[in-house]
Structure 1
């Protein structure tokens, strides 16, 4: 048995809403896990957390890998928020650092420390890829189990990779958004056939007057139906709005199937050397802090 430093942290919540549960394993430089061992842990924690993030000190920052119960995940926004919020809050040597380098499979990203002013950490999303898709309004409404009339044709259905291949689907009302409960196995097959990682539904109608949009995200490919608060999905949505000329800075997204008590994801833009990048941000709440004994 290998004892590992383990935390269960809910991202995008101060504790008042459900957040999105992530497992967090901090690996010392001497601790090396194989891909199969990390996958084993992701599988063992199915139903308890949506993904497990593994963090190792690396070069001038940290290296991160992510696993769901089904597979390795290219990028997991909520686990990154959970991990970096905890590292910045609990590690005195990081308190004064404004920018921390992160290394994921897709390359180098940055985390921005705003705990002292906004009680939030912001993560730079990967560069966007605007993808071709053959998805039609008829096929996606059928896959989601809603009437095609619920779709908001003022906005396009579009696929964007902002860390994960995200299909973005507009609906007219908050009631439409909250009524969607697709069959998990059928929707998983739809995602696999159409080369989609996750599906983000959005509407302009919100419950909180301070929020700008309500979103929900479905992720059956990764072993669960709904992701209650997402960084990568909402970043893709931010890039989507930016491409349409409708993004505003300090965008507030409420995300959840719970009408009155949604999780909050914040979006900002950031100008790097090449292009406008999306930053997603929020806080996190630690629920469990202890040891995980992985059988080798």
Structure 2
């Protein structure tokens, strides 16, 4: 392969089925691409995120990743980490005769990310594999001035009575990237939500990451803990089918309002159902001394397509 040819893959992430979950582009052999070229390629794919893989700075690690939306670079994101980890594992062990567990050390802008990958022999298990990664930056409150509940409802095309349930109120948390956490009273209300751009900045702030993560306890699937939606219209993503970085930030929100006790807590988060892209994200975190001490995000990924970029 010449230097002008770069292999790429398309995966569906947080699903074991093709044409579900969150699609992801992963470009291998990204050495030599400028920041501007990476941004243009991400815009060309026009998916919520595109990952560019290059050799790691530390030879003991597996790869360096850079993550771009159609409009900007991110320091960290969940479904690119899961998808890239599964793909790199499948590239490393292409002809498995039995299922295999491996560990990937991935260099991202936020820092080193450790991912545990399970690869399936001959495509067994319904996909290329599963990955679980340790969240590199624990969720914490983020200082963004929000609009009133009325203004938040208006920006989502909802009524003020749709915002909030139990003791949950809108807050902002970040695990690398900030998200406005918006509790929605039920499934009917969250299904009606839609971004209203003229009202967006008033409700969620005028900055690069004024993304809204809506959640409710009512779910489609019996085994799910929360039903969610994520809108990021100012980043060129009207709605995202699955957002691992938002799920990581959501851990802080759960801790604040639900106050889980000491120990390990697991949650299944469903997203993308309104888009016809059903996604399942596994969130696990540990609590010690009343605060988060560790977080993990996991899910499945399946390879959908591959090709070559002539750039």
TM range (shorter): 0.7 to 0.9
Offset of 1:214 from its aligned partner?
0.2
Task: State the partner residue of 2:293.
Answer: 276
Task: State the partner residue of 1:73.
Answer: 74
Q: Is the 8 A contact 1:157 1:170 kept in 2?
A: yes
2:107 paired residue among 100, 103, 110? 103
Q: How many residues align?
A: 289
Offset of 1:286 from its aligned partner?
1.4
Q: C-alpha deviations, 1:42-94, integer Å up to 9, x for none?
A: 12222xx2211011231122211111111112222111111111222332299
Offset of 1:233 from its aligned partner?
0.6
Q: Is the 8 A contact 1:188 1:220 kept in 2?
A: no
* Partner SS, residue 283 of structure 1: strand
CA distance in 1, matches of 2:268, 2:68: 28
* Partner SS, residue 250 of structure 1: strand
Matches within 5 A, 1:1-296: 2-15=4-17, 18-27=20-29, 31-46=31-46, 49-58=47-56, 59=58, 60-61=60-61, 62-92=63-93, 98-115=102-119, 119-125=129-135, 126-135=137-146, 136-154=148-166, 155-184=168-197, 186-187=199-200, 191=204, 193=206, 196-244=209-257, 245-246=259-260, 249-258=265-274, 262-269=278-285, 276-294=293-311
Report the more deviating stretch, 165-174 or 132-141. Answer: 132-141
CA distance in 1, matches of 2:281, 2:182: 18
* Partner SS, residue 88 of structure 2: helix
TM value normalised by structure 1? 0.87
Structure 1 pair 81/260, CA: closer, same or farther in 2 (3 Å)?
Answer: same
CA distance in 1, matches of 2:297, 2:182: 20
Q: C-alpha deviations, 1:218-264, integer Å up to 9, x for none?
A: 11122120011110011111222133324862311111243987311
Alignment gaps of 5+ in structure 1: none
CA distance in 2, matches of 1:185, 1:79: 30
CA distance in 2, matches of 1:201, 1:68: 20
* Partner SS, residue 235 of structure 1: helix
TM value normalised by structure 2? 0.83
Structure 1 pair 25/191, CA: closer, same or farther in 2 (3 Å)?
Answer: farther
Q: CA RMSD in A?
A: 2.9
Offset of 1:27 from its aligned partner?
1.8
Q: Is the 8 A contact 1:207 1:260 kept in 2?
A: no
Q: C-alpha deviations, 1:137-162, integer Å up to 9, x for none?
A: 22211111100101124202110111
CA distance in 1, matches of 2:210, 2:134: 19
Structure 1 pair 260/41, CA: closer, same or farther in 2 (3 Å)?
Answer: closer
Structure 1 pair 224/260, CA: closer, same or farther in 2 (3 Å)?
Answer: closer
Offset of 1:190 from its aligned partner?
5.2
Q: Is the 8 A contact 1:4 1:26 kept in 2?
A: yes
Alignment gaps of 5+ in structure 2: none
